[in-house]
Amino acid sequence: MLKSLFWLNLALISGLLLGTYSYAQELSYSVTISDHRFQPSELSVPAGKKFKLVVKNLDPTAEEFESHDLKREKLIPGRSEATLILGPLKPGTYKFVGEFHERTAKGSLVVK
Amino acid sequence: MLATAVIVLREVLEAALVVSIVLAATRGVSGRGLWIGYGVAAGTLGAVIVAAFADVLAAAASGLGQEIFNATVLFAAVAMLGWHNVWMSRHGREMAANLSAVGAAVRSGAKPLYVLSAVVAMAVLREGSELVLFLYGIASASPGQTIELAVGFATGLSAGLVLAAALYLGLLRVPAKHLFIVTGWLIVLLAAGMAAQASAYLVQADILPSLGETVWDTSRLLPDESILGRLMHTLVGYTARPYGIQIGFYAVTLLVLLVLMRLFASDRRRRSAL
């Protein structure tokens, strides 16, 4: 019992370490918010890979990056940036909006 | 204006429902209004501070500070709710028999009101900081629309308070001898839902594995963003598209709390039999 717990732990820890390691070499993309619009509003990313999405908010006001498709809701304070770790995703289009300015702040990730 | 009201309602709802459950759970306790008031005040103050340092928080832990902060606050709330319920299972029986006994227990310093006060503060803190930033954003972006903003805010806030009051008044209709059983269950479900949400934040921070990206999808039936979806999210932990690990955290929290409550309750029974 104790022994199997030990192995389970070891597996978990090495899994975590591996995850962090592989993530360090992962892809990174970025999107900018200015005048409550995403730039670019469409971004292509590869399917089946984990990647980083850095959202830079150039506006003086906060925005909330919200995506039902990606299951994310993240606040990005004015004039700062936030990182999202996404994927691996299946091919398709994943929409996102800026919740605080939903009329103009719209974008999508096209996963191929 | 309507858009503002809807966003305010969404942000306010969870905290408002937590306050009504806590109010019902402390029925008959003297000084509860004050403690809950402290909780709301501390939470609001904390929300303003967190909002002021939002950029620092967002940049912390290589851009994942927000997720880690949210998960920490949620886990702390889960621990406090659990502690309250264990305490209640030890002392609740005699209280249910006589509501005024609760007041006596509190005067003697037995019922941990500060625990519930902290839970209220954390609920207000988490949702409140987003609300502060949102309001600050539109206020500074469109200075001419202050009245519109104020009306939107007031509408959203009152809608949230009405829903919370409805829950509280509904709970008051529960006969006194069952009230603490009902509020006890509500708190267990609230805590399980919070633990599940905390685990989702940790998945998003890449700290925990998702164990299944989307176990089910009921987002057409009851979307998370809808008011009913939000309501169910707070009350029972509803999520339209949960990660596998969220279900695990939900089940484990539920189980651990129920076992602890049973253990402490029977411990007491055994002692009184001696």
Residue of chain B minimizing CA distance to A69: B241
The pLDDT value recorded for residue A3 is: 54
Residues of B in contact with A74 (CB under 8 A): 66-67, 204
Q: Which residues of B touch A (CB under 8 A)?
A: 3, 7, 54-55, 58-59, 62-64, 66-67, 130, 133-134, 136-138, 140-141, 200, 204-206, 209, 214, 219, 223-225, 241, 243
Name the one residue in this structure whose structure tokens are 């009230």. Answer: B179
User: What string of DSSP letters covers B5-57?
Assistant: HHHHHHHHHHHHHHHHHHHHHTTT-TTHHHHHHHHHHHHHHHHHHHHHTHHHH
Q: Please list, in sequence order, all residues whose beta carbon lies within 8 angstroms of the beta carbon of residue B185, skipping any fewer than 6 positions away.
A: none
> Phi, psi (5° rounding) for residue A67?
-145, 115
Confidence at residue A95, expressed as pLDDT on a 0 to 100 scale: 96
For residue B9, pLDDT over 90 is answered with yes
For chain B, the straight-line distance linking the first and the last C-alpha, in angstroms and rounded, comes to: 65
**Nearest Cα residue to A60 out of A73, A77, A74:** A77
Q: Is the pLDDT of residue A8 over 60?
A: no
In this predicted complex, what is the ipTM? Answer: 0.77
Q: Residue B264's pLDDT is what?
A: 83
pLDDT at A5 over 70: no
Residues in chain A within 8 Å Cβ distance of B225: 68
What was the pLDDT predicted at A13? 56
| Contact between B209 and A88 (Cβ < 8 Å) | no
Calculate Rg over the CA atoms of chain B: 20
Shortest Cα–Cα distance, B144 to chain A (Å): 16
Provide the total of helices (H) and of strands (E) in chain A, helices listed first. Answer: 1, 9
At B274 the pLDDT is 45
pTM of the model: 0.85
d(CA B102, CA B91): 9
| Amino acid, res. B138 | I
The phi and psi torsions of A94 (rounded to 5 degrees) equal -115, 115
Residue with tokens 């009101």: B113
What token pair was written down for B216? 């089910």
Task: State pLDDT tens for residues B226-255.
Answer: 899 999 999 999 999 999 999 999 999 999
pLDDT confidence of residue B273: 47
> What is the reported pLDDT for B89?
81
Indicate the average pLDDT of chain B. 88
The pLDDT value recorded for residue B55 is 87
Higher pLDDT, B101 or B25: B25
pLDDT digits (tens, 9 = 90+) for B121-167: 999 999 899 899 988 887 887 777 788 889 999 999 999 999 999 99
Residues in chain B: 274
Q: What is the mean pLDDT of residues A71-85?
A: 91
The answer to whether B59 contacts A75, with C-beta atoms less than 8 Å apart, is no
What is the band of B73 on the pLDDT scale with cuts at 50, 70, 90? Answer: very high
Distance CA A82, CA A72 (A): 12
Cis check: omega of the bond before A88, within 30 degrees of 0: yes
Residue B104 pLDDT: 60
- Sign, CA dihedral B87-B89-B92-B96, equals positive
- How large is the average pLDDT for residues A39-62? 94
User: What is the average per-residue pLDDT within A77-94?
Assistant: 92
| pLDDT band with cut points at 50, 70 and 90 for residue B106 | low
Question: How does residue B100 score in pLDDT terms, banded at 50, 70 and 90?
Answer: low
Q: What are phi and psi of A52, to 5 degrees?
A: -105, 135
Residues of A in contact with B241 (CB under 8 A): 71
The region of weakest confidence among A67-71, B29-33, B201-205 is B29-33
Q: How much of chain B, in percent, has pLDDT values that exceed 90?
A: 61
Q: A82–B130: do the CB atoms touch at under 8 Å?
A: no
A26-111 CATH? 2.60.40.420
Tell me what the pLDDT averaged over chain A comes to: 84
CB B63 to CB A23 under 8 A? no
- pLDDT over 70, % of chain B: 89
Q: Over range A34-57, report the average pLDDT.
A: 95
User: What's residue B63's pLDDT?
Assistant: 85
CA angle (B73 as vertex; B125, A59 as ends), nearest 5 = 55
d(CA A110, CA A80): 25
Band (B176; pLDDT cuts 50, 70, 90) = confident
The CA distance from A103 to B111, in Å, is: 49
**Arithmetic mean of pLDDT, B83-106:** 68
Distance between CA atoms of residues B101 and B183, nearest Å: 17
- In 3D space, the residue among B83, B85, B103, B107 whose CA is nearest the CA of residue B95 turns out to be B103
Residue A1: is its pLDDT beyond 60? no
Using alpha carbons only, what angle is made at residue A107 by residues A104 and B1, rounded to the nearest 5 degrees?
Answer: 30
Contact between B94 and B180 (Cβ < 8 Å)? no
Closest CA to A70 of A43, A100, A101: A43
Q: Tell me which amino acid residue A77 is.
A: P
Asked if residue A40 has a cis previous peptide bond (ω within 30° of 0), the answer is yes
Task: Delimit the domains of chain A by residue range.
Answer: 26-111
For residue A35, give the 3-state DSSP assignment. coil
| Paired tokens of A98 | 């800026």
Q: What confidence tens digit (pLDDT) does each residue in B180-229 have?
A: 889 999 999 999 999 999 999 999 999 999 999 899 999 999 998 889 99
